[in-house]
Amino acid sequence: MDLIVAADRAELAKARDGLGGRIALVPTMGALHEGHRSLIRLARERADHVVVSVFVNPLQFAPEEDFSRYPRTFEADLAACAEEGVSVVFAPSAAEMYLPDRQVSLSSGHMGTVVEGAFRSGHFDGVLTVVLKLLNLVRPDVAVFGQKDAQQLALIRRMVTDLDVPVEIVGGPTLREPDGLALSSRNRYLSAGDRATALSLSAALRAGRSQDSGDAVLRAAGAVLDEAAGLDPPLRLDYLVLVDPATFEPVGEGYRGEAILAVAARVGATRLIDNVFVTLS
């Protein structure tokens, strides 16, 4: 079938009602890259039809963040979705998604205030609010999100559990450039020098993952990031943490099993995040 583009609730409802079988949702903010394409392919494995949302959500940006600067490549996004066999693209305006007198939003609770949430106040409240609205509007059987945004994925899983939302949440693995840099829409902001420094993030995660105890993991990763702070341009670290994948609370030295090693840092004017799973034995 041809790709359907829906700009409002009525068009989405009409398109949604014309789809048979299982439906998968892949929420995005556009500027699609190969990482997004991999999520769409994973969604196609899980369902008969894929709906992709393209919406730069203003609720998840703080006033000093890059909402107006966030890349918008809608025609290219539509072409990518058509190539990947997407059935429907839902591309609403902010006015379509949020009523002018809107009063109710979701709270991400304690987990939304730690790690990434400690640096982006209210960010996860905005993420969960828009994701719940998209789930209600599309009514998918499965929704697919990237593991690169690990805390977001954990919070969405917590939300559908706590609020009894009847949808399966699937995490897709992080895709990387050949040099190890995690794919991100924000990578296009990096100069050649910025990019060379940014590779320290994935290098730190690889160094940490080679260890098998919590203290050793953080020491090995931290040593790489300390060295990167002296590069030109320098890496400015926001956090390096080793956390429980379900709660994002720090794991203690006696912790055994799978943990997430997560990092966030700024290179020039660009803020980047990355993470890997680590097995502590």
Contacts of 6 (CB under 8 A, 6+ apart): 12, 14, 15, 88, 89, 90, 91
Is 208 annotated to bind ligand?
no
Strand 4-6 vs strand 23-28: parallel, antiparallel, or unpaired? unpaired
147 is in an annotated binding site: yes
Active site residue 49: no
134 is in an annotated binding site: no
The whole-angstrom separation of Cα 276 and Cα 242 is 10
Dist CA 182 CA 20 (whole Å): 35
Task: Tell whether residue 151 is among the known ligand binding residues.
Answer: no
The phi, psi pair for 29, rounded to 5°, reads -105, 20
| Tokens describing residue 42 | 């994973």
84 is in an annotated binding site: no
Q: Is 181 annotated as a binding residue?
A: no
Q: For residue 149, say whether it is annotated as part of any ligand binding site.
A: yes
Alpha-carbon span 202 to 181, nearest angstrom? 6
* Two tokens, residue 61: 């940006």
14 is in an annotated binding site: no
* 123 marked ligand binding residue: no
User: Binding residue per annotation — 30?
Assistant: yes
Per the residue annotation, which of 36, 49, 110, 123 is the catalytic one?
36
CA distance 253 to 5: 51
Annotated binding site for beta-alanine, which residues? 60
Binding-site annotation: residue ranges for (R)-pantoate: 60, 152
Residues that are catalytic: 36
